[in-house]
Structures are given as structure tokens and as C-alpha cells.
Chains A and B, each alone.
Chain A
């Protein structure tokens, strides 16, 4: 085995979520009344455009979710360069995991990587010393440079990687960037053309028309799904992506941060954190909200009283403070049980999971109240009364009549909560009660960068990168949630 898969807790939950989504999609595709609202969603241009953007984010997040540890080459292992003799002792100090399996024939790197890390290994490995601006060829701060004649001059040193290939950066940089952007754009356009052709071929086959007829239908927007919007959006993303990739090979596209890490790499790694907070939180709160909400509304009486008391109590604790209290307690626990966690990654991962859990605890009450109200109404509906009169059991009634009629509320709430949770992550990380400081997240990026605004000239790129990626994700999520709500809410549908 060249690598050893690592399954973190959050990874497992993500795969569970994907499984659930696929199962639901399969179920929905076989029921006309479930397919109809989705058809409305993909029939709207805003919906399709935001869906394309969200899928791009999802792809990045998914690539970053497949974790593994690479096998180390026995001869030229990671301790290369330390000297063979003292490498053994360094092994002991640095990598407890390695020593523990030292009797095993193969060693795995202690570093947990993801597919995204492999894809971006260029970005990950090309570290500079400290800050450098986007597209810079020189470091952001002056350093003492030793001249060839032995004298020392204070100047901005050349970067180790960014723009290294240029002999005369001042003159060559602009044409080089332009040329590389052009190459990237051409590559992107080619890939886009290939993908579009594939899609057209599929469409043409399904519609039973020629490719030309399908193309004109798509171009003029005469298809049920606005493919021209989807293709335009896809083209835009591909162009940007390929230009960025082409440039990122030779430059630090979004600069580097304080310790010289590429900012583009950081933002891309942060995508997973943002998506996880937005989705896992709702996933973990969902069972409680559904079960309690339905129980309160359907059974009424003392069950209702108890559940109402429960969520009013939880709701009356200000969210941030509850999160702060729990995370503080988690910190105490983790620092007192430091040996319970195998690696930093695992620790950060568990903290993320706990953050999702506690965010879920603070946010399930809203959904629970909605579900309670709705099941209260549904309980009195004729077909439920009829089922009761026929002696159908409560469990069956809930599963067959109540729950399916509540799913639209659940779905709308999921979508509406997502963007708020992504934004909340940034705020919480600022207060130091968010994700682990070692974890890549937009909140940590903002937190690290905000003090640097006081510098002159300003270090703006970390903030700009976090802003850009967060804004695009949240905007797409907001737009998509609106479309979803319009399509699923029966109240709104009747008006339309």
C-alpha cells in the first residue's frame, strides 16, 4: 500500500451525509411530487448558477475530505538531511506514531494529507520566509542581504519561489503574467468546450435531436433547465480556475502570510471547514429537532410541555455564551487529557466536531418550534384523523403522514441556516471559541490578518482572499436558499 487511509470523525460524517443525500435524491427521483419542486429549482437561472458555484466549492471540500498518510520511502524518509545517526533520536522526539510502529515493515508519514493537498502540493511546499504581496517577486520586508563582495545591504530579497524564473522581474513580470493568463484561459476554454460538447451530446441524445438543434436551443435558453446559464457559469469558473492554476505555478497568486504560507492554499483549505460547519451542524441537530418537534406537536399534553420547556431553556441562553462555555470546558478537558489524541489533526478535527455539535444545540430550537407548530396542524387534518380511526399506530402515522409533510420545512431550514453558520464560524474563531487555531479556516485567516492592517503599506491580501471566498460561498448559498424556499414552500407556490 503506498498510502494508509485515515478516516477522521468529520470525514465519516461527511460520507454519511453524502450517502443520505444520494439516498434522498434516488427516492425523490422516483416520486413525481418530490421531483416537481426540484424541477423548479433547476429551472431557475439563479438556482442553476448558484448550484454550479456551490458544486465547485463542494468539489474542493470533498477532495479535502479524503485523508490519508503517505508511505515513507525507507531509504530517503522524512528524516533525510538530519544525518543518519541522530535521525533515530529525532524520530523518538518528533514522531511518536512512527516509533510506535517501528517494528512494522513500512512507515507512514505522521502528516495527514488529503487529496487536495496532493493536487496543491506545489502551493503547499513552496513556502517563503514571511509576507509577500500577490504576484510579488520580492519579500515584503527588508532583510540584510550579503553581496558577492562580502558587504551587507538592507533590501527586499528575492522570493524563493514566487517569480523565481524571471531574470529581470521589473521588466519581465507583466508580460509573463499576461502570457500565462492567456495560456490558462486557452486551457480553460478547451476544457470548457470539451465539457460543453459532452453535455450537448447527452442532451441531444435525450431530446432525440441533432447536436446543432440542441445547441441553438441551449443558446437561446429554450431548454427546461437553463443550460446556457449553467454553461456560462461553468465557463467562468473554469477560466478563472485555469488562469489561477497557471499563474499559481510560478507566483503566489494571493501572496503569502506571516510564516510564508501561500494564501491561496490556505483559502482553499478553509473551504472544507466552512462547508463542514454549515452542513454538519444541521446534520447533528436534525434528529433531535425532528423527533422532539414532531413528538411535541403530535402527542401534545405533558410531552409538549416538557419539550417546550427544554427548548425555551436552551434558547434563552445566549448562543455565543453557551458556545463559549462549552468550548472552554472542552479546552479544559483536552488539556487535561492531552494523550487521548493521537495527532494535532485529530484533535483539531474533534474540536470542529464539537463546535458543530454545540452550534447544533443552539440552533435546533428554531427548527423544532417550526416542526411542532406544523405537526400540531397536521394532527387535526382529516387523513390523519381517518388513519387514527382505522387504528393505525402512532409510529406509522408519523412516518407515513406527518414526516413527509414536514420535509420541506426541514430542507428550507437547512438551506437558510447554512450561510449563517459559515458566517458564524468566522466570528467565533475571532473570539477564540471557534475551530482549532491550527486548522485552516476563514475565521482564523481574518483573525491572523486583521492586526496587520495597521502596517504601512497594508497587508491586505489575506483578508481579501478570505473575504472573496467567503462572500462567493455565502452569496451562492443565500441565493440558492431563496430559490429552494420559493420552490418548496407551498404557501409561496400557490401565489406564484
Chain B
């Protein structure tokens, strides 16, 4: 087990190197630092001196891959590739193009993001599983049919409309919760209710439909028919047999969804004005702060790979048939 986990972590290294190379190519080779400088300083009539000054200020004035002037080992380290890309492996994100420390910002903004993503995940999971069990309990009836129609309809609505609708109805018409904003510490809860509700409702369509399929697949298996033939109560069959066995794909699904939560809160956070990582990234995109976007790409990849490894480990914990070699 330990050996397996260690090996998985080692596998992650070439992938992260690949991610790093892709971002490096995108940010420094497709467009040279000169282009970036020109973009930041404004389009027209930028002097070469201004570009040089900007590059120097942000540390983009070095050669891309190898510094001939310094030479030797130092020639490899005193480059843009080493300074901006390799350092990411040590989680040294450096400073943003606006001059702030990215690592510090991330450590600060992580918590509001989690404050939304975790409740959305847990409440959504509980609700979707219950709803799916309810539908499966009434399978092949009009309740089943109606619910599936409802789910497909909910699935077809853009997440933007859930957010706009939630803000409009709960925030503006009924004045139940503040429309957007954030507060420090425990005061934040009233700002979190609306995003969490919206997040959960937005996920019902896809989530419940998927769980329903899983349960139906499980319920068609022989052991369930045996249990039913023995005269076991339908509720017991559902909870003791179907739910437990269907939990395995649900669990892996949840871990796979984790990086998507990261993306989902991108929109939610900026709509609700929550100072999390999502709105951080959005701000960086609209301010064209490449340093932050680059760091977030790397961080996202790390989290995703971590999610994959956790999935595999969780398999062994819940399913005794799975053995990792």
C-alpha cells in the first residue's frame, strides 16, 4: 500500500513537468515577454526603454532557457524558465504582475473558497442521493417519469441563470440574504447561504440523474433480486444493499468532481463577491495578470492529480475486492 502510494506520487512528477512545459510554452514562447510588456503598457508608442524597465521590474528580462552571460549551472538557473516555472515545484509562486505575493494571497483566499465548496459538496451529495433513492423507490411510476423530466430540464439550464435567479429571488425580491459580499470569521455565514443554496440546486440535475442510473444498475443485479425474493423489505434492500454497493462509484465520482468544484466556484465566487481563489483567478484573467494565471494552472493540476491518487486509495478503503499492487 505504502509502496503503491509512493509510486503514484512519483508518477505525478512527469505529469507536472508536462503541465509546466505547456504553461511555459503558452506564456513565454507563443508570445515573447516583449509582447506581454507592450500589452501591459498600452498598445501604441511604447518605447523600448519602457519595455525593458517593465521586464526588469517583473523579472522577465532574462533569457528563456539558458543564460550565456552567466554560464555553467548558474546559466541554467538564472533564466525565465527556472525563475518562473521550475520554482513552482517548490510552491514558490513568486509575485504577481501587480507586485503582490501570490503564495500569501492563495493561503488567504483558500478559506472562503473552501467555505463554499465544502458545504455545496456535502449538502449536494446528501440531497442528490436521497432524491435518487426516492426516485428509485418509485421506479417505473409517474413519479419516476416526472422526476426524470424535471431533472433533464434542470440540467438544461445554464448555471448562470441559477445564480442570477437566486440572487434576484432570494436577495432582491424577498430580501432574505445579502446579494453578495463577504465578512471575516463566523460573520460570513449569512453571505454563504445563498451561494451554497444556488450551488446545490444547480447540481441537482446532473447529480441526481447520475445517481439514479447508478442505483438502477445496481438494482438490476442478481443479489438484489435474491434479497427481494426472500421477501426482504424494499426499504431495507435499498439502504442495506443497493445504497452501500452504489457508494463505490459515487465516492470515486465525488473525488473526480473535486477539481471541478474548483472551477465551479470560479463563477459563483465572482458573482457573489467572495474573496476566494475563484474570484482571484477571474480578477487575474480580466487584469491579464499572467503570473497569477500561471500559478493557478499549476496549482489546479497538482490538486487534480492529488484527487486521482485519493480516488485510488479510497477505492481500497470502501471496496475490499480492490487490491492495489
Contact = CB atoms under 8 A, between A and B. Distances in A.
25 contacts: A309-B14, A309-B15, A309-B18, A310-B18, A313-B15, A315-B304, A316-B15, A317-B301, A317-B304, A318-B262, A318-B263, A318-B300, A324-B285, A325-B23, A329-B27, A329-B30, A331-B39, A427-B267, A431-B285, A432-B286, A458-B168, A467-B157, A470-B158, A474-B156, A475-B152
Contacts of A275: none
Interface string A306-327: 0001101111111111101110
B64 interface: no
Interface in A389-442: 419, 423, 426-427, 430-433, 442
Interface residues of A, number: 47
A446 interface: yes
B160 A432 contact: no
B290 interface: yes
B35 interface: yes
B155 A478 contact: yes
Contacts of B160: 426-427, 430, 446, 450
Contacts of A322: 297
A336 interface: yes
A475 B161 CA distance: 15
A172 B281 CA distance: 53
A3 B18 CA distance: 50
Interface string B161-201: 10010011000100000000000000000000000000000
Given A328-B285, A329-B30, A478 B158 contact: no
A220 interface: no
B312 to A, nearest CB: 13
Interface residues of B, number: 50
Nearest to A472: B156
Contacts of A442: 158
A333 interface: yes
B26 interface: yes
Contacts of A313: 15, 18-19, 22
A479 interface: yes
Give the 7 A-B CB pairs with smallest separation, nearest first. A313-B18, A318-B300, A474-B156, A475-B156, A316-B301, A316-B304, A332-B31
Given A467-B157, A475-B153, 11 more contacts: A317-B300, A317-B301, A318-B259, A321-B297, A325-B27, A329-B31, A336-B31, A336-B35, A338-B43, A446-B158, A446-B164
Interface string B261-285: 0110011001000000000011001
Dominant secondary structure at the B interface: helix
B152 A427 contact: no
Contacts of A314: 22
Contacts of A463: 161, 164
A331 B293 CA distance: 15
Nearest to B18: A313
Given A324-B281, A431-B285, A329 B26 contact: yes
Contacts of B294: 325
Nearest to B34: A336
Considering residues A316, A317, A325, which has the most beta carbons from chain B within 10 angstroms of its beta carbon?
A: A316
B159 interface: yes
A312 B8 CA distance: 13
Interface of A: 309-310, 312-322, 324-326, 328-329, 331-333, 335-336, 338, 419, 423, 426-427, 430-433, 442, 446, 450, 453-454, 458, 463, 467, 470-471, 474-475, 478-479, 482
B297 A318 contact: yes
A214 B308 CA distance: 58
B138 to A, nearest CB: 20
Contacts of A458: 168
A22 to B, nearest CB: 28
B164 A450 contact: yes
B280 to A, nearest CB: 12
B62 interface: no
A458 to B, nearest CB: 8
Nearest to A321: B297
A427 B22 contact: no
Interface of B: 14-16, 18-19, 22-23, 26-27, 30-31, 35-36, 38-39, 43, 152-153, 155-161, 164, 167-168, 172, 259, 262-263, 266-267, 270, 281-282, 285-286, 288, 290, 293-294, 296-297, 300-301, 304-305, 308
B304 A467 contact: no
B30 A333 contact: yes
A446 B38 CA distance: 31
B164 A453 contact: yes
Given A313-B22, A318-B263, A324-B281, A332 B36 contact: yes
A410 to B, nearest CB: 21
B168 A453 contact: yes
Contacts of B156: 419, 471, 474-475, 478
B168 A312 contact: no
Contacts of B16: 316
A431 B267 contact: yes
Contacts of A312: 15
Contacts of A426: 158, 160
Contacts of B15: 309, 312-313, 316
Given A333-B30, A475-B153, A478-B156, A316 B39 contact: no
A475 B205 CA distance: 12
Considering residues B30, B161, B164, which has the most beta carbons from chain A within 10 angstroms of its beta carbon?
A: B161
B196 to A, nearest CB: 19
A321 B281 contact: yes
Contact of A430 (B168, B172, B267, B300): B267
A443 to B, nearest CB: 8
Given A453-B168, A475-B156, A325 B267 contact: no
A37 B105 CA distance: 54
Contacts of A474: 156-158
A328 B290 contact: yes
Nearest to A323: B285
Contacts of B285: 324, 328, 431-433
A168 B64 CA distance: 72
Contacts of A471: 153, 156-157
A433 B157 CA distance: 20
Contacts of A479: 152
A320 B282 CA distance: 10
B271 to A, nearest CB: 8
